Structure 1
C-alpha cells in the first residue's frame, strides 16, 4: 500500500466520521469527536492532501446566519476493492469504489470443484493494472467461502470444493500484490447487516444463511463472534436424530434435512422429476400439494431452528438469507407465526436479510475496507 494511505489515529477517527455520515461538515465532526475546530481543520487538510476526502459544496447556514458550512465526503475515486463469493457452482465478483459504491459485478461458472480452477478464473479475469479511473487502482480483495476460516486466515474446511492448495490466499496475493482477507460467507453477511445498524439499539444479531448448507454469522455486543478457531456458527453441522428414511435411526446433519438444497432434493424425489429453483417457485404458486406440504415442513423446521438459536444466544434480531424465502416472502410470515408458538416470551425481531443477493459480497467489501484502513465499525450505506 502506498505511503499516502498511511493515516494516524486522529485521521482515522475523522475519516470514519465521513464514511458514516455522508456530506458532514467539519463543525459537526468537531462536535462528534469533541476536538476543536482548528485540530479538525488540520486533520482534514491532511486527508484532502492525501486525496482521501473531497469538499462537495456548502450546507445550510444556521438560523443566526453566518458562513455556510463546507460539506465533506469520501473520495470514491481514491481506489477500488474486489469482493469475491465462492459459491457451490460459480465465482461471483463485485467491484466497489473506495466509498463502497458498486462499480460493477461479474459472474463466472465453475467447470469443476478444484480450487486451482478458481485461481485460473481470477488470474484470467482480474486485471490488476486496471485503475477504473481511480487514483490508486486495486486496494484489496476479500474472499467469501462456504466453509471455515481460522484466525490466521487459513482455510480449515471447504466442503464444496477440492482444496489441494493450502495457500489459496497467498496465491491470490502473489498476482494481485494487495491485501487479501478471507472469511466465512455467513460471517460477512453478519458484518454487512451490523454495519446498517451501528447507530441503533441492535447490539446482538444473527444472520442465518440457508442455501446448500446452513450457517450463522453471530454478532455479540456489535462484534463478530468467530469462536476459538473460526468454527462458531456452523449450525448446519448440528446432529439430529430425525430420520430421513423410514426405519433409519442414524444421526444426520441438520443441513442435510432442512437446507434449501435439501428441500429441493426432497421435493424432486417425491415428484420423480428434477425441478430448477424457478420451476419450484412456479409449482408452489400453482398450488402443487406435494410442494406445499414439503415447504410447510420446511417452515416448521426453520421455526424450531430459530427457536433453538434464540434459546442459545437470545439476540435482538435474526436476519435470514435464503433465496427461497426471498422469492416467497409469505414463508417468512409463517415462520414467525410458528416461532411465536415456541418462544412466546421472546419477542425478538425476525427479518429477511436487507440485501439477500448482495449481502455477502458487500460484507466482503466492508471487511477488506476495514482491514486496509485499520478502522472498525464503518457504516455501509448501500442497501
Structure 2
C-alpha cells in the first residue's frame, strides 16, 4: 500500500530542509545553529533536529565556539568532507586520468595512464582496472566510495550510453551498464566537455560566473555550457558538439567524416598534423612543440600562432551564439597558454563586435587537465548529497 500523501509530503519537505541545512553549512561554515535559522528562515526546533541528524550521519560536526552577541558562545558547525569519497575518471583519446576526491572536491589521490589505439574492450577494461586501483587508495570513512563519475569525449545519452565518440572509435557503447556489472555504487557518465565545464564552475576559473562556456581542447574539441548556473545539455543531452561546427566550407577532413570542422583546425590533433609538414618537427608531441617554441623555433612558433587564430575564430562564434560572461579554455592545450593567448584574443576581437565582447572574460582553466575528472566527481558527490532526489536510501546512506 502506498504512503498517505500527507506523510509523503512531510517526508519530502523534511528531506528538502535537510538538504538546505547541509548546503548552508557546506557554503558558509563555520556557522552556528542560530546562523542557519537566520539565513534559511526555518524555525529553531527544525534546524536543531536536522543538525542533530546530520551530526549523527557524520556529514557535519561541531568545532569550537564562535563569538557571543550576549549570552552563551555558540557552537560552530563544519562540513565533514571526509565522510566519503568519489572517484572521477577522464577518458582521453590517449590517456586515462583517475582521481579520488573528498566530498568537497579536493583530490586526495590520482592515477594517469597513457593509452594508444585501444579497442573498446581494452579501454573499458583499463577503466575498470583504474577504478579498482583508486578504490584501494580511498581512506577509511563512514560511507566509503559514494559514486563513480566518468567523462567521455563523445555524445552520451541520458541513460549513460556513449552513442558516438569519433576519436575513440566508439559507437553505441553502454558504458554505464558495463561498469554497473562490476561496481556496486552509483555510476555517472557524462560528456567530457560538460564535465570540464562543471568542474571549472564548481572548483575553478568559473566559480563566479553565472553563464560560461568551457572549451576543451585536446586531441578533439568539445564545449560545455553553463547557463544561469546550470549545465545546459540540450533537449536530449547532446549539446556542446561545437568542435564539429563548420568554419571552412569544404575544408580539411575531420574524424567525424565531415569537412572544415573547427576541430580539424584548432585541436591538438590538428597541431600535430601540421607539425608533420615540417621535417624537423615530424613526430613531435604537444610538449615537444611547446619546448621548441619556447626556445624560439620559428616553425613551432608559427604553428601555435595559427592554432591560436583558429581557436579564436571558433570562440568568436560561441560568443555570438551564447553571449556568455566568460569563456574558459582548458584540457591539454592549457599548457600552451603563453603561446596562443595573444593570437586567440586577436582573432576574437577581429571576428566579433565590441558590444558582443562587452564584459566578457576569456580565461584559461585553473584546474588544468583535471577539469573533467573533478567535474564528474562533483556529479557523484551531488548525487550522494541530494536527499530530496533519493527515493530510497542506499545501504548505509543517509536519507
When normalised by structure 2's length, the TM-score is 0.83
Q: CA deviation at 1:215?
A: 0.8
Q: CA deviation at 1:197?
A: 8.5
CA distance in 1, matches of 2:46, 2:138: 33
* Counterpart secondary structure, 2:141: coil
Deviations 1:246-269 (CA, angstroms, capped at 9, x unpaired): xxxx93222112212211220232
Matched, 1:351 2:363: yes
Tell me the equivalent position of 1:372: 384
Matched, 1:159 2:166: yes
The counterpart of 1:276, out of the listed 281, 285, 288, is: 285
Tell me the equivalent position of 2:107: 102
How does 1:201-350 map onto structure 2 within 5 Å? Answer: 202-239=209-246, 240-241=248-249, 243-244=251-252, 251-272=259-280, 273-341=282-350, 342-345=352-355, 346-347=357-358, 348-350=360-362
Q: CA deviation at 1:83?
A: 0.6
CA distance in 1, matches of 2:210, 2:260: 33
Task: Check 1:203–1:330 CA distance in 2 against 1; reply closer, same or farther (3 A cut).
Answer: same
Task: Check 1:27–1:134 CA distance in 2 against 1; reply closer, same or farther (3 A cut).
Answer: same
Task: Check 1:182–1:270 CA distance in 2 against 1; reply closer, same or farther (3 A cut).
Answer: same
CA distance in 1, matches of 2:56, 2:243: 49
Task: Check 1:150–1:319 CA distance in 2 against 1; reply closer, same or farther (3 A cut).
Answer: same
Q: Any stretches of 5+ residues in structure 2 without a counterpart?
A: 1-11, 389-399
Q: CA deviation at 1:113?
A: 2.0
Task: Check 1:302–1:372 CA distance in 2 against 1; reply closer, same or farther (3 A cut).
Answer: same
Task: Check 1:74–1:66 CA distance in 2 against 1; reply closer, same or farther (3 A cut).
Answer: same
Task: Check 1:324–1:193 CA distance in 2 against 1; reply closer, same or farther (3 A cut).
Answer: closer
CA distance in 2, matches of 1:214, 1:277: 15
Tell me the equivalent position of 1:381: none
Deviations 1:97-133 (CA, angstroms, capped at 9, x unpaired): 2332222001233364223223333444516587621
Q: CA deviation at 1:38?
A: 2.6
Tell me the equivalent position of 1:183: 190
How many residues were matched structurally? 365
Tell me the equivalent position of 2:6: none
Tell me the equivalent position of 1:379: none
Tell me the equivalent position of 2:86: 81
CA distance in 1, matches of 2:335, 2:137: 35
* Counterpart secondary structure, 1:153: coil
2:265 and 2:310 in contact (8 A); partners too: no
How does 1:55-94 map onto structure 2 within 5 Å? Answer: 55-62=62-69, 65-94=70-99
CA distance in 2, matches of 1:188, 1:284: 31
Tell me the equivalent position of 1:3: none
Q: CA deviation at 1:308?
A: 0.8
Moved more, 104-113 or 85-94: 104-113
CA distance in 2, matches of 1:301, 1:44: 53
Q: Any stretches of 5+ residues in structure 1 without a counterpart?
A: 1-5, 377-383
Deviations 1:292-347 (CA, angstroms, capped at 9, x unpaired): 22222222212211111111110111111143343442522442233223332222
Over aligned residue pairs, what C-alpha RMSD do you find? Answer: 2.7
Q: CA deviation at 1:157?
A: 0.9
CA distance in 2, matches of 1:145, 1:199: 21
CA distance in 2, matches of 1:315, 1:37: 41
When normalised by structure 1's length, the TM-score is 0.87
Q: CA deviation at 1:26?
A: 2.1
